Amino acid sequence: MTASILPGETSSALLVNALSDDVQSVFPELERLLPLVSKPVQYVGGELNAVIKPWNDVAVHWALMYPDAYEVGVPNQGVQILYEVLNEREDVLAERTYAVWPDLEKLMREAGVPQFTVDGHRPLGAFDLFGLSFATELGYTNMLTALDLAGIPLHAADRDERHPLVIAGGHAAFNPEPIADFIDAAVLGDGEQAVLLISNVTRDWKAEGRPGGREELLLRLARTGSVYIPSFYDVEYLPDGRIRRVAPNKPGVPWRVSKHTLMDLDEWPYPKAPLVPLAESVHERMSVEIFRGCTRGCRFCQAGMITRPVRERSAETVAKMVDAGLEKTGYEEVGLLSLSSADHSEIGLIAKGLADRYEGTETGLSLPSTRVDAFNIDLANELTRNGRRSGLTFAPEGGSERMRRVINKMVTEEDLIRTVATAYGNGWRQVKLYFMCGLPTETDEDVLQIAEVARRVIETGRKASGRKDIRCTVSIGGFIPKPHTPFQWASQLDHESTDARLRKLRDAIRNDREYGKSIGFRYHDGKPGVVEGLLSRGDRRVGAIIERVWSAGARFDGWSEHFNFEAWMLAAEGALEGHVVDVDWYTLREREYTEVLPWDHLDSGLDKDWLWEDWQDAVEEVAVEDCRWTPCFDCGVCGQMDTEIQVGPTGATLLGMPALPSRGGDLVAETSS
Amino acid sequence: MSPRQAPVRDVAPTVQRLRLRYAKRGRLRFSSHRDFQRAFERALRRAGVPMAYSQGFNPHPRVSYANSAPTGTASEAEYVEIAVTAMLDPEKVRLALDTALPPGLDVIEVVSSKTSDFIERLEASVWELELPGVSVKTARSAAEALMAAEEVMVERLTKNGIRTFDARGPVVAVEVPLPATPADPGGDSPEGGIHSPEEMADCAIMRLVVRHVTPSVRPDDVLVALRHVANLVPPVPVRVTRLAQGPLVADVSGQTVLNAVTDPFAADRG
């Protein structure tokens, strides 16, 4: 049905996609450069379960990018899911592209090799749609490199029908205003259905001969109400620099754009065939998402706020996905992913069921994020029964009880001590604790309390294990206020104060004669947090900073060896010259209730008044419960988005799973030999 | 609590050892040895090969890797040995592993091990260098200059810092055939060459027989040596393929390069 689309295109469309008639691989040109760069295998593709389709067999061509190095990007679940969902469609193909390191970038510029996909090594500029998944704002400069290497104009306003639509997704897309100049569209929330919607709209528009050109396509997407087109909104500012209002500038464009929420994860068991790269990646395991969303209500946590409500995948589907995935990948470890994996209503059944099933196969299970209060030793023992026993990580986030009430991370010090005592008593030797510094209302005393907690952990652990060689590592991250959270109005702590506070904590740990040697301390300086804060809560004026710092050479800002704070500050100074705002205005300034925030026209479902009340509760150190187990607190999401909490238990068992094939049965030699 | 002890497991004993020859072809030549190790161990799991595992905290499948070709170098003759817990049909294992590995990592032959000292049998390698932009004449005179030299010292950065060693001594033989006689790579033909016909017209092929010594002398080192003795500097990166590894014949003189190294599986085929 769709095969006739390409021949039916108008002559201008043929001109547009002069390339797409027969898009050639750029691999021969790239291949000459590869002997000259480090880790060339990351650019050759060839992952197990990768898909390459003939270009002319489909109507819509997607390039998907995780804008970081291949080793970080290739395991990303979001990209893998969309890649598979799109490639399952007969009229669509999707290929992947990643940020190239500066050594290859330089050679590509010299040799005129464009940004390419790792699947078909097709030039990025030939695709219809270029989707980027931004897990963090620190990938923005890498997007500009990719656009530039692809020959796509950096500014959306300068693009025409020859160029792909540039579409941002991922958590950072909940405030895409800092990159509004560079993207054509943004999608908020779960991407599975959104990419299919966009594919259909694009396919139909192409089939009709691209009426109205690029603008018409964008209008059609905007009118769905669930794709945000920044150029269709005007931002007006007040004399003091705050936003006066954000308003649509085209008829039919909605005032607010909603996030997407996928209901019934059992119907979307992706990825079914996870990608297995040849190159080493940051996650050498297979991942299965066991639920999406989290309603624990930690006030700093953007992921927990924007992914509501909780939607569990059933134990049965999880087991089937693990089974199929292991068979297709050969991985020896399975991570059960979610924002707080021990909170799944059937986690015990899942862990025991899988441990039983893979007994004797050297297959390990892991729960990447576990709350102290949801941890129990039976669960931990099941997880390590068939594989290696790695360290345990817990995230109390705040050092003092007071701080944990402010952030609504309601785990008590007693919970933590009891949990680590059990862990050390059962043979674990290493516990990692994660905290944040720079939280609202925080004082030096709150942070110094982290040293106290660590001392108690070691003291308890030595008693529980009867040994002195147990260890605890304290890892600290700087707090960054994020959009769509109760802390979106908060002041971010300046980097000098962050560093000073962490020095005091470090000294307190180091100077402890009895326990200090058993406590590791890991932290980063506060400067990258300033840039992340600027990009998180920035508005459209921040785009000029990004472009300027990129022109000055900024790349891979998430990597400390590449990040250049001074370059960012210099770029900000230049780009904001003549404006009444500066970096401090974006980061350190506490906002008021009435201020129009840059992302107010983007609807995460959270009621702004609810967020404000929760912010007030935070300052007053009042905690709230989890709506999974207590009555609704009216955050607004379910009503606004017409969604509901989906949790078990389903009462299912894993007994119905077919038996694992015995190993080597097909390979045995005939007995005659 | 008792001292830290590795759990004692029921590990099935090794019943058979299998030796594999595999190729690293086309774009997969950019994979490193570690990349291959990961891919191979996953392929063993996907293929359902009943591997013998080591004891200890982190049991790992028993796999021995022989001297692997450097990253960026293609190969038709890489070797690996595995220990399994059942008597398996080598050809079925070959097919299952070849299917489980990505195209470009191709299992060519599997034999049941009947001998020891396999690694010692890999005495030398035959390397083929494609030299785009270098004429046969230039390549031949460079090869003659190399063989005429007593020793050619080269430097390489190793794990233990910069080492200086002789890259000439281990080179047993060199030949630069006329373009009309391309080497038979054996097995499936590798991915098409990267060089256009115009380049091939001026693309000498150089084949080397290099004895395995410590520190190993790699094709890169020989290229450095060729630069030293004959100022040979190929204008674009050289494409290198290992064609064979195995026992070195007693008298190389009078042999073609391809016959200088024999089949290391000969003793196992018996």
CATH of the domain at A165: 3.40.50.280
| B220 has a chain A CB within 8 A of its CB | no
Q: Does B100 touch chain A (CB under 8 A)?
A: yes
Whether the bond into B215 is cis, omega within 30 of 0: yes
CA distance A669 to A663: 14
Residue at B7 is within a domain: no
Which DSSP state fits A559?
A: S
pLDDT at B226: 96
Helix, strand or coil, per DSSP, at residue A301: coil
What is the C-alpha separation between A503 and A509, in angstroms, rounded? Answer: 10
Q: Inform me whether the pLDDT recorded for B8 exceeds 90.
A: no
Say yes or no: A384 contacts chain B, CB-CB below 8 A. no
**What CATH number does the domain containing B47 carry?**
3.30.70.580
Beta bridge pairs of residue A289: A337
Looking at the structure, do residues B157 and B235 belong to the same domain, yes or no? yes
Q: How many domains does chain B have?
A: 2
Q: For residue B102, which residues of chain A lie inside 8 Å, CB to CB?
A: 46-48, 278
Query: Is A1 an 8 Å CB contact of chain B?
Result: no
Reduced to 3 states (helix: H, G, I; strand: E, B; else coil), residue A118 is coil
- Set of chain A residues whose Cβ sits within 8 Å of the Cβ of B1: 425, 427, 465-467
Last residue of a domain, one of B63, B78, B113: B113
Residue of B2, B25, B27, B101 to mutate, testing the A interface (most A Cβ within 10 Å of its Cβ): B27
A62 in contact with chain B, both atoms CB, cutoff 8 A: no
Nearest to A667 among B28, B35, B92 (CB): B92
Percentage, residues of chain B above pLDDT 70: 87
Using the predicted structure, report yes or no on whether residue B5 has a pLDDT greater than 50. yes
Best B18, B45, B218, B240 member to test A by mutation, with max A CBs in 10 Å, is B45
Q: Which helix (H) or strand (E) holds B19?
A: strand B16-24
Is the pLDDT assigned to residue B187 strictly greater than 80? no
Judge if B90 and B157 occupy the same domain.
Answer: no
Q: Give CA–CA dist B60/B53, Å, rounded.
A: 5
Portion of chain A with pLDDT greater than 70, in percent: 94
Q: Which residues of A touch B31 (CB under 8 A)?
A: 41, 44, 278-279
Rounded distance between C-alpha atoms, residue B21 and residue B43, angstroms:
15
Nearest Cα residue to A201 out of A185, A217, A223, A216: A217
Highest mean pLDDT out of A124-128, A426-430, B248-252: A124-128
Mean pLDDT of A376-383: 78
Helix (H, G, I), strand (E, B) or coil at A82: helix
Residues B74 and B165 in one domain: no
Q: Among A410, A290, A381, which residue's Cα sits nearest to residue A344?
A: A290
For B96, which residue in chain A has the nearest alpha carbon?
A667
Within a domain: A226: yes
* pLDDT at residue A385 is higher than 80: no
Region for B176 from its dihedrals, namely left if φ exceeds 0, alpha if ψ lies in -120 to 50, beta otherwise: beta
pLDDT tens, position by position, B114-172: 998 899 999 999 999 999 999 999 999 999 999 999 999 999 888 888 999 999 999 99
Residues A185-205 as b or e (16 or more Cβ within 10 Å = b): bbbbbbbbbbbbebbbbbbeb
Whether residue B41 and residue A276 make contact (CB cut-off 8 A), yes or no, is: no
Which of B93, B113, B133 is a domain's end point? B113
For A605, phi then psi, to 5°, come to: 90, -25
- Å between A353 CA and nearest CA of chain B: 21
pLDDT band at residue A176 using 50, 70 and 90 as cut-offs = very high
Whether B114 has its CB under 8 Å from any CB of chain A: the answer is no
Is pLDDT at A557 greater than 50 in this prediction? yes
List CB contacts (< 8 A) between A329 and chain B: 42, 46
Burial A372-401 (b: 16+ CB within 10 A, else e): bbbbeeebbebbbbbbebeebbbbbbbbbb
Which of A:248-287 have CB within 8 Å of B? Answer: 276, 278-280, 284
Q: CB-based contact (8 Å) between A331 and chain B? A: yes
Number of domains in chain A: 1
What residue of B is the nearest CA neighbor of A362?
A: B59
- Tell me the pLDDT tens digit for each residue of A325-346: 999 999 989 999 999 888 999 9
Q: Are residues B42 and B166 located together in one domain of the fold?
A: no
3-state helix, strand, coil in chain B (%, to 5): 25, 30, 45
Residue A383's pLDDT band, with cuts at 50, 70 and 90, is: confident
Residues B73 and B205 in one domain: no
Please determine, for residue A79, whether its predicted confidence score (pLDDT) is greater than 50. yes
In a domain, B186, yes or no: yes
Q: Are strands A129-133 and A165-169 parallel, antiparallel or unpaired?
A: parallel
Same domain, B256 and B186: yes
Per CB-CB distance under 8 Å, the chain B contacts of A388 are 57-58
Please answer whether residues A448 and A504 qualify as being in contact, where contact means their C-beta atoms are separated by less than 8 angstroms. yes
Give A356-368 as a DSSP string: HHTTTTT-EEE-S
Q: Measured between beta carbons, which residues in chain B are less than 8 angstroms from residue A46?
A: 27-28, 102-104
Q: Does residue A501 lie in a domain region? A: no
Domain span holding position B212 = 122-269
A670 in B contact zone (CB under 8 Å) = yes
Angle between helices B33-46 and A315-329 in degrees, nearest 10: 120
The predicted structure's pLDDT at residue B202: 81
Q: What share of chain A is helix, strand, coil (3-state, %, to 5)?
A: 40, 15, 45
Asked if A362's CB is within 8 angstroms of B89's CB, the reply is no
**Same domain? B214 vs B253:** yes
CA distances A34 to A115, A605, B15, Å, are 14, 47, 43
* B192 found inside a domain: yes
Do B57 and A27 count as a contact with CB atoms less than 8 A apart?
no
Residue A266 falls inside a structural domain: no
Q: Is A227 exposed, middle or buried (0-12, 13-18, 19+ CB in 10 A)?
A: buried
Q: Which of A26, A363, A663, A672 to mutate to test the interface with B (most CBs of B within 10 A)?
A: A663
**Residue labelled with tokens 């990349």:** B35
pLDDT of residue B59: 79
- The mean pLDDT of chain A is 91
Question: Which amino acid would we find at residue B132?
Answer: P
pLDDT higher than 90, residue A367: no
Q: Is B113 exposed, middle or buried (0-12, 13-18, 19+ CB in 10 A)?
A: middle
CB pairs under 8 A between A and B: 115
Q: Does B71 touch chain A (CB under 8 A)?
A: yes
User: What's the gap in Å between the CA of A96 and the closest CA on chain B?
Assistant: 17
- Based on the domain organization, do B104 and B137 belong to the same domain? no
B208 found inside a domain:
yes
Mutate to test the interface with A, among B9, B40, B46 (most CBs of A within 10 A): B46
Residue B266 to chain A, least CA–CA distance (Å): 19
Whether B36 and B141 share a structural domain: no
Residues B135 and B83 grouped into a single domain: no
Q: Name every chain A residue with its beta carbon within 8 A of the beta carbon of B42.
A: 48, 276, 329-332
Q: What is the largest CA-CA distance in chain A?
A: 91
Interchain proximity B49–A663, CB inside 8 Å? yes
On whether any CB of chain B is under 8 Å from the CB of A467, the answer is: yes
Q: What angle do CA A570, A576, A582 make, to 5 degrees?
A: 85
Q: Which residue of A has its CA nearest to B73?
A: A35
Asked, for residue B259, whether it belongs to a domain, the answer is: yes
Report yes or no on A24 lying in a domain: yes
Out of A40, A389, A666, the one facing B30 most closely (by C-beta) is: A40
Is B91 an interface residue toward A (CB < 8 Å)?
no
What's the gap in Å between the CA of B253 and the closest CA on chain A?
A: 34
Distance from CA of A421 to the nearest CA of B (A): 13
Q: Is the model's pLDDT at A19 over the cut of 70?
A: no
Same domain assignment for residues B129 and B87: no
Residue B4 lies in a domain: no
Structural domain containing residue A35: 11-258
The dihedral through the CA atoms of B138, B139, B144, B150 has a sign that is positive
pLDDT at B1: 40
**Cα–Cα distance for residue pair A107/B152, rounded to 1 Å:** 32
* Residue A143 belongs to a domain: yes
Q: Which residues lie closer than 8 Å to A329 by C-beta, 6 or more apart?
A: A48, A49, A273, A274, A276, A286, B42, B46
A565-588 pLDDT, tens per residue? 999 999 999 999 999 999 999 999
Give the Cα separation of A75 and A133 in Å (integer).
13
Position A456 pLDDT exceeds 90: yes
> Which residue, chain included where needed, has tokens 């190294």?
B261
Q: CA A287 → CA A269, A333, A379, A544, B257, distances in Å?
A: 12, 9, 18, 38, 49
pLDDT at A448: 96
Mean pLDDT value of segment A396-414:
92
B34, A280: Cβ pair inside 8 Å? yes
Would you state the pLDDT for residue B192?
A: 46
**First CA to last CA across chain B, in angstroms?**
55
Is A666 touching B (CB cutoff 8 A)? yes
* Angle B79-B80-B86 from CA coordinates, rounded to 5°: 135
Check if the beta carbon of residue A542 is closer than 8 Å to that of residue A487. Answer: no
Give pLDDT, residue A362.
Answer: 81
A221: in domain: yes
A166 CA to centre of own chain: 18
CB atoms within 10 A of CB A138: 22
Laid out side by side, the sheet with A430-437 consists of A392-397, A430-437, A471-478, A519-523
To 10 degrees, what angle do helices B33-46 and B90-100 make?
A: 110
Compare all CA atoms of chain A with the CA of B61 and give the residue at the minimum distance: A362
pLDDT, tens digit, 9 for 90 and up, residues A462-512? 999 999 999 999 999 999 999 999 999 999 999 999 999 999 999 999 999
B135 and B230 part of one domain? yes
- Residue B181: the pLDDT is 45
Angle at A433 between CA A429 and CA A438, to 5 degrees: 160
The answer, for A29 touching chain B at a CB cutoff of 8 Å, is no
Of the pLDDT bands very low, low, confident and very high (cuts 50, 70, 90), residue B112 is: very high
* Mean local confidence (pLDDT), A252-281: 95
CA–CA separation, A227 vs A219, rounded Å? Answer: 10
